[in-house]
Amino acid sequence: MMKKSATLKINEQMQEYARKGVPVVNLGFGEAGLPVLPVFRELVAA
């Protein structure tokens, strides 16, 4: 079985949240090749 990409995983999770009525801002747009700001990394890790 092939491993799911991180992009596919986050898109599926955002769709699930949206189905449940949770407001989401989907920033899972693929691999942009840009570094993640440390403050964002800390926020999503919490």
Look-up: residue for tokens 């800390």?
Answer: 42
Res 18: pLDDT: 92
pTM over 0.85: no
Res 20: pLDDT: 97
- What are the tens digits of pLDDT across the range 1-46? 788 888 888 889 889 999 999 998 777 666 667 788 899 889 888 7
The answer to whether 7 and 31 have CB atoms below 8 angstroms apart is yes
CA gap 35, 46 in Å, rounded:
19
The SS3 of residue 24 is coil
Look-up: residue for tokens 């691999």?
Answer: 31
4: left (phi over 0), alpha (psi -120 to 50) or beta: beta
